[in-house]
Structures are given as structure tokens and as C-alpha cells.
């Protein structure tokens, strides 16, 4: 499955390079919703909430009311997870909170593991948290089996290539695929249809942002990869 991304900051849709530098900005979320209408699911990340400097709740509710969304960013309590479901989220993405077992268990108790995705974002070989500002001592490969009982799947971002449009690290994703049977969505540097099809051959979904916004990937071509009856991505030869 191909999952287009909407990242929010200061009430606008943005794309960042490695979570730091703003590369582009779109005033209207509705413009992106119209462009993404052919896709079965959209990924929405509140960057302000992830960085602990506010939220974009009204915009999130607006988007979630118009599309099937998985939503994350700053979800560090059961109350926040419940609030996102109330705003219309189909699934909630948790990153930093997954490292506090008490908080993670409270979130699972509040919304159920089937509505929860865990984000494991890797930079320099180690998982990073707090909006990618802090590094942990653990690798994603180590954490996948430990966290699998708490969620319905994983969002795994290769931060080293995020927003750089240089391709992603397929070897890393192969190692992740070997570490868990849970669904995985890949993000970070996905630039070409070859990247997407290589991931799909590994049974890994692709969350795509910068390559769409800059026109490197053509939305019409991406939409042709979607099977309307299932929302899955067509398997194509590499």
C-alpha cells in the first residue's frame, strides 16, 4: 500500500529534511486531500505536537473528517490517544511513549492494540525519540519483537535519508522485515517507483512525502498502483 503523508506545522502542510529544515510549505490541507483522494489511507503527523510546542488539533479534525487517517505526533498519554480517535483517527501512531511501558500499556488499554501503530525512527543505527531530537541505545531490529504485542503494526522511518530524495536503505528494511511478522510501513528517502516496488516485494507499505510534493513521484502513476477493491498496491516486476 502507498500512504501519502501530510505533516503539519504552524497550521500548514510542510515537508522537512531530516526533521529539521523546512523544505516546502503548502497553505491548504484541502489541496492535498484532493490530490490524495485516490489513496485508501493518509498518514498525518503533527510536528508541533511531536516537538512539544503546541498542536494542530483543529486542522487534524478537519483532515480526519475527510479521509481515512493514521495520525501521530506527540502522542504521549492515553488521553491524547483517545482524543485523536475522537477527532476521527483510524489509527494512532505512538513513538516516544512506546519507551515508557506504563504509558504504552495505558494507551493500549485506552484504545486497543488494533488501533495503535508504533513508530520506530532510526538515525545512525539507533532509534531516536522526542521529535528525533534524542537518541536511544537501541536499534529498531531489537525493539520490533519487544513492542509487537502492543500494536497492530509499525511505522519505521530511516531518518538518515528523510526528505533528501536519495533513495532509502532497503537492506535496513529487509532486516526489519525479518524481525517481525507485524505490518510495517516504511518512510524516509523513498523517491522512486523502484523503491516502492522493492518495499512491496518485501511486504512493506510505503509512506511517501517529499517525492510527491516536489513532483519527483507522479501522483497519477502512484494512483494507478492502487487496486480500488482493496486499497493494496499492485505487485509489479522489479
Mean pLDDT of 173-186: 97
Q: What is the DSSP string of 105-156?
A: HHHHHHH-GGGEEEEEEEETTEEEETTTTEE-S--HHHHHHHHGGG-SEEEE
> Which residues are part of the catalytic machinery?
7, 121
Q: Which residues contact 109 (CB under 8 A, 6 or more apart)?
A: 78
Summarised one tens digit per residue, pLDDT across range 79-100 is 999 999 999 999 999 999 999 9
116: cell is: 495503535
CB 128 within 8 A of CB 156: no
Domains and CATH numbers, the chain: 2-224 (3.20.20.70)
What global pTM score does this model have? 0.90
**pLDDT, position 232:** 46
Closest of 77, 136, 145, 157 to residue 110, by C-alpha: 77
4: cell is: 501519502
Closest of 112, 70, 76 to residue 92, by C-alpha: 70
Amino acid at each position: 500500500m502507498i500512504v501519502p503523508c501530510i505533516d503539519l506545522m504552524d497550521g500548514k502542510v510542510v515537508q522537512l529534511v531530516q526533521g529539521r529544515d523546512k523544505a516546502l510549505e503548502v497553505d491548504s490541507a484541502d489541496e492535498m486531500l484532493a490530490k490524495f483522494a485516490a489513496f485508501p489511507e493518509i498518514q498525518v503527523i503533527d510536528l508541533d505536537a511531536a516537538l512539544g510546542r503546541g498542536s494542530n488539533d483543529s486542522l487534524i479534525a478537519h483532515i480526519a473528517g475527510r479521509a481515512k487517517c493514521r495520525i501521530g505526533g506527540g502522542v504521549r498519554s492515553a488521553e491524547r490517544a483517545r482524543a485523536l480517535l475522537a477527532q476521527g483517527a483510524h489509527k494512532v501512531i505512538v513513538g516516544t511513549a512506546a519507551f515508557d511501558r506504563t504509558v504504552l500499556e495505558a494507551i493500549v488499554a485506552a484504545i486497543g492494540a488494533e488501533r495503535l501503530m508504533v513508530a520506530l525512527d532510526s538515525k545512525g543505527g539507533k532509534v531516536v525519540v522526542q521529535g528525533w531530537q534524542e537518541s536511544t541505545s537501541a536499534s529498531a531490529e531489537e525493539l520490533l519483537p519487544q513492542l509487537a504485542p502492543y500494536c497492530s503494526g509499525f511505522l519505521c522511518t530511516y531518518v538518515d535519508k528523510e526528505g533528501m530524495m536519495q533513495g532509502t536503505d532497503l537492506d535496513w528494511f529487509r532486516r526489519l522485515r525479518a524481525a517481525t511478522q507485524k505490518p510495517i510501513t516504511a518512510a524516509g528517502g523513498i523517491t522512486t517507483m523502484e523503491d516502492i516496488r522493492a518495499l512491496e516485494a518485501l511486504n512493506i507499505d510505503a509512506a511517501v512525502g517529499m517525492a510527491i510534493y516536489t513532483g519527483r513521484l507522479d501522483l497519477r502513476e502512484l494512483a494507478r498502483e492502487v487496486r480500488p477493491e482493496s486499497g493494496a498496491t499492485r505487485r509489479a516486476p522489479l
